[in-house]
Amino acid sequence: MKRIFNGSGGRKAALILSLCLIFALAVGTTVALLVAHTNAVTNTFTAAKSKITIEEKTDDGIKSEIYVKNEGTATSYVRVKLVMNWVSKDGKTISATPVNISVDYDKTNWFEQGGIYYYKTPVAPVSAKPSNVTSNLLKTPIEQPEGAPEGYHLEVTVLAEGIQAAPSKAVTDSWRVGVDNNGYLTQPTTAP
């Protein structure tokens, strides 16, 4: 009987047989991976939202309280602009006569820059009630000043804006304010 794997020819045959086996395993694995089917995964990510509302209290035409409430799902910074106009009984506005009233506001929790009032601390989302409301902007009510044009009354319109607190770069770039290490808004300082 003749031996199949004798001498150098047997080693060559074993090597060829081993390579064929490795090649068959590689091809089989590749085909199995290409044919395999997995079900699609549904992405359940929900983006955080910044949504603010204004709450005002007016007594006999005098605006006495202004709050901003965060109704969104993201912690947000807020700012308020007070637009003051002389308005007639029929709703017409005088644009030629400026309204020069200084507002007595809460300087502990707010700061003013360019006629806009910034709440210093981030306002929590709606899920963190009652921490989702700012303090009252006004220290004293905004009253009708002396010297109003004849037949006109003071009308104060409150405009508010909110922006997500994270990342803080969003507020610093958009509103040109600073954010300190505690996350509080700060007025930017200009170098001399």
> Has residue 125 got a pLDDT over 50?
yes
Stretch 168-175: mean pLDDT: 89
Q: Are 33 and 125 in contact (CB under 8 A)?
A: no
Local confidence band at 105 (pLDDT 50, 70, 90 cut-offs): very high
Rounded CA separation 187/168 (Å): 14
% of residues, the chain, pLDDT over 90 = 29
- In this prediction, residue 93 carries a pLDDT of 81
Task: Please tell me the predicted confidence (pLDDT) of residue 158.
Answer: 92
Task: For 140-165, write each residue's pLDDT tens digit.
Answer: 998 887 877 888 888 888 999 999 98
Q: Residue 103 CA to chain centroid, in angstroms? A: 28
Q: What is the pLDDT of residue 65?
A: 92
**pLDDT score, position 191:** 47
Give the mean pLDDT of the chain. Answer: 84
What was the pLDDT predicted at 192? 47
Burial of 17 (0-12, 13-18, 19+ CB in 10 A): exposed
Residue 4: predicted pLDDT: 55
Average pLDDT over residues 17-33: 82
Q: Which residue has the tokens 């309204």?
A: 99
Banded pLDDT at 86 (limits 50, 70, 90): confident
Q: pLDDT band for 55, please (50, 70, 90 cuts).
A: very high
Identify the three-state secondary structure at position 58: strand
